[in-house]
A and B are shown apart, each in its own frame.
Chain A
Amino acid sequence: MRTIRIGSGAGYSGDRIEPAVELAEKGDIQYLVFECLGERTVALAQRARLKNPDDGFDPLLEARMRAVLPPCAKNGIKIVTNMGAANPWAAARKTAQIAASLGLSRLKIAAVMGDDVLEACKQHDLPLLEIDGTLKTLGNRIVSANAYLGAEPMAAALKAGADIVITGRASDPALFLAPMVDAFGWPMDDWDLLGRGTVAGHLLECAGQITGGYFADPGFKDVVGLARLGFPIGEVSEDGGLVITKVAGSGGEVSARTCKEQLLYEVHDPARYMQPDVVADFSQVTVEEIGPDRVRVSGGRGTQRPDTLKISVGYVDGYIGEGQMSYAGPGAEARARLALEIARERLKLTKVEASEWRFDLIGIDALHGERRSHGGAPYEVRVRVAGRTDTLAEAVRIGDEVETLYTNGPAGGGGAFKSARDIVAVASVLLPRDLAAPQVRFVEA
């Protein structure tokens, strides 16, 4: 039976670069996928594009492409990535330039466009999924609206001979499903096959999270070689059979336990994992260790795809101002608590306006509240104040006020930090799928 090997070269936009080079050089792979587009990254990229029409793609695109294009060209490995962000066409042209500058010719690069559905969203008032209200409620605060596209346009680009496929917003598992559809000619209504392919894509999309990253817990789950963690390879066969593995000699582990954790990562109902191409069913999946760093994953299924596409809507959501200060040694906690009291009172006295506040003691209650803390006097405590404001100027005042604890607060406060940032938040709507029209455009290096 025919089998392909797909490498996962990045699990988020800032991910390590050299594990992907290792995959391209030693992974014996035919496809290398980079998932680099976080929930709100498209919205931020859209702003960059508004400032410069040639920008709006992943800021690390050049560094990644420079590193992996030579070994990928040498070994005939096709690349699929969502590094196009808000401007896949500019990203494709940029990649063509990079390839040319590396002396690589005859590379066919495809840009998948059409995920931008801002216009459609302006014409259809749809309910927001995560928060109360509809698109109209967000009004002119909306920055971007992008559909999670499925595998079809990417697979079509590969079929047309693309060596590199660059998309904007697409479902993360679909980046991996596209090579399978390309290689095996899977019909786009064979729900069980698409479900199995989605299991594979879902397991691979976070790269190091299935090879021992986001996993180690000394004494309970020890992992060797995390500083040179190998990224995963999915061996997928024509019938959707799957083995997860990694490059021999790289750090980390591929085991039943790492696969189980990643199977449920960011999953709600495991029997209904909603995708643009299929509703995947993970509920009957089994994992079996069949060799060192080799795990067979079976039992994925699927049912008919939904009639709607999930749309990620980026909107301006005010500002967050923040300030921090550390206290240490005997009485650290008491001085940190006093610092918080002072900051709280000062922010009130000086009438800093915020709709929501956080007053945290890092080391005591910042992550899970005081109730979960084990108690005992911590050697060091870091004070953190954060507030949500309507303007940048107001946000700046929060950090400034915390900083004044240096000379006006308790003894021994050190290491002040302050920040003020504008917030582009993300909400979702469901759009009838025929309102998004994906297109593919090619450029050659």
Chain B
Amino acid sequence: MAKLRDIAHSRTGDKGNISNISVIAFDARHYPLLCEQVTPARVKAHFDGIVFGEVVRYELPNIAALNFVLDQALGGGVTRSLALDAHGKSLSSALLDLEIELPPDHDRGVA
């Protein structure tokens, strides 16, 4: 079993109590696989206990990327959160821990 980290990179941004996490394929050929396996439902389940609102996914085929918008994800908001990482900067690293199923003959294509 591979990890999302093997085929994609990621960055977290914050606005108020909303976190956005990009997931970008190192190799554009993996984009369909990202679309298929990194679903909003899976992301929501992955962040169970951290994200309390809706997870919305935007697709950017031109840059082989997905953008996840996670509502109620930052402990009430960056400026008031009690959390150690109030911005949620480290959430991208948590998402890259997601398990991904690669086709058997797969070239992982890490940049």
**CB distance B85 to A264 under 8 Å?**
no
* Given A220-B110, A269-B58, A388:B90 Cβ within 8 A: no
**CB distance A387 to B67 under 8 Å?**
no
Select which of B11, B48, B80 is within 8 A of A261 by beta carbon: B11
B2 within 8 A of partner (CB): no
* Given A264-B20, A369-B49, A220:B5 Cβ within 8 A: yes
Binds B, one of A77-85, A93-101, A278-286: A278-286
**CB distance A267 to B20 under 8 Å?**
yes
**CB distance B24 to A257 under 8 Å?**
yes
* Given A221-B9, A425-B80, A266:B20 Cβ within 8 A: yes
Q: In the bound complex, what is the Cα–Cα distance between A369 and B47 (angstroms)? A: 9
Q: In the bound complex, what is the Cα–Cα distance between A45 and B43 (angstroms)? A: 38
**CB distance A368 to B5 under 8 Å?**
no
Select which of B20, B24, B83 is within 8 A of A268 by beta carbon: B20
Q: In the bound complex, what is the Cα–Cα distance between A427 and B90 (angstroms)? A: 23
**CB distance B84 to A384 under 8 Å?**
yes
* Given A214-B11, A268-B18, A368-B91, A131:B62 Cβ within 8 A: no
Q: How far is the CB of B41 from chain A (nearest CB, A)?
A: 17
**Residue ID in chain B nearest A256 by CB atoms:** B63
**Residue ID in chain B nearest A356 by CB atoms:** B82
B40 within 8 A of partner (CB): no
Interface residues of B in 2-21 (CB under 8 A from A): 5, 9-11, 13-18, 20
Interface residues of B in 48-83 (CB under 8 A from A): 48-50, 58, 60, 62-63, 65, 67, 69, 76-80, 82-83
Instruction: Annotate A408-445 by CB proximity to B: 1 below 8 A, 0 otherwise.
Output: 00000000000000011111100000000000000000
B97 within 8 A of partner (CB): yes
**Residue ID in chain B nearest A130 by CB atoms:** B16
Q: In the bound complex, what is the Cα–Cα distance between A270 and B2 (angstroms)? A: 29
A362 within 8 A of partner (CB): yes
Q: In the bound complex, what is the Cα–Cα distance between A384 and B5 (angstroms)? A: 29
Interface residues of A in 351-399 (CB under 8 A from B): 356-358, 360, 362, 366-369, 371-372, 384, 386-388
Question: Which range holds the interface residue count of chain B?
Answer: 35 or more
Q: How far is the CB of A96 from chain B (nearest CB, A)?
A: 33
Interface residues of A in 280-309 (CB under 8 A from B): 282-287, 299
* Given A221-B111, A367-B90, A426:B82 Cβ within 8 A: no
**Residue ID in chain B nearest A426 by CB atoms:** B79
**CB distance B9 to A220 under 8 Å?**
yes
Q: In the bound complex, what is the Cα–Cα distance between A360 and B81 (angstroms)? A: 14
Q: In the bound complex, what is the Cα–Cα distance between A357 and B49 (angstroms)? A: 15
Q: In the bound complex, what is the Cα–Cα distance between A39 and B76 (angstroms)? A: 15
Residues on the B chain within 8 Å of A263, using CB: 63
Instruction: Annotate A174-214 by CB proximity to B: 1 below 8 A, 0 otherwise.
Output: 00000000000000000000000000000000000000001
Q: In the bound complex, what is the Cα–Cα distance between A366 and B22 (angstroms)? A: 22
A50 within 8 A of partner (CB): no
Residues on the B chain within 8 Å of A221, using CB: 9, 111
Select which of A215, A286, A425 is within 8 A of B77 by beta carbon: A425
**CB distance B80 to A423 under 8 Å?**
yes
**CB distance B82 to A286 under 8 Å?**
no
**CB distance A284 to B62 under 8 Å?**
yes
Residues on the A chain within 8 Å of B18, using CB: 130, 268
A40 within 8 A of partner (CB): yes
* Given A268-B18, A388-B82, A423-B80, A286:B9 Cβ within 8 A: no
A119 within 8 A of partner (CB): no
Select which of A264, A356, A427 is within 8 A of B13 by beta carbon: A264
**Residue ID in chain A nearest B67 by CB atoms:** A264
Q: In the bound complex, what is the Cα–Cα distance between A214 and B14 (angstroms)? A: 14
Residues on the A chain within 8 Å of B62, using CB: 283-286, 299
A320 within 8 A of partner (CB): yes
Q: In the bound complex, what is the Cα–Cα distance between A372 and B93 (angstroms)? A: 11
Residues on the B chain within 8 Å of A286, using CB: 62-63
**CB distance A428 to B16 under 8 Å?**
yes
Q: In the bound complex, what is the Cα–Cα distance between A320 and B90 (angstroms)? A: 22
Residues on the A chain within 8 Å of B26, using CB: 257
**CB distance A260 to B65 under 8 Å?**
yes
Binding site for B on A (CB under 8 A): 39-40, 129-131, 214-215, 217, 220-221, 257, 260-271, 282-287, 299, 317, 320, 356-358, 360, 362, 366-369, 371-372, 384, 386-388, 423-428
Which 4 pairs of residues, A with B, have the shortest CB-CB distance? A266-B13, A264-B22, A130-B16, A425-B80
Binding site for A on B (CB under 8 A): 5, 9-11, 13-18, 20, 22, 24, 26, 47-50, 58, 60, 62-63, 65, 67, 69, 76-80, 82-85, 89-91, 94, 97, 110-111
15 inter-chain pairs at a CB distance below 8 angstroms, sorted by A residue, are A130-B77, A221-B9, A257-B9, A265-B11, A266-B14, A269-B58, A283-B60, A283-B62, A360-B84, A362-B84, A368-B94, A384-B84, A388-B82, A425-B77, A425-B79
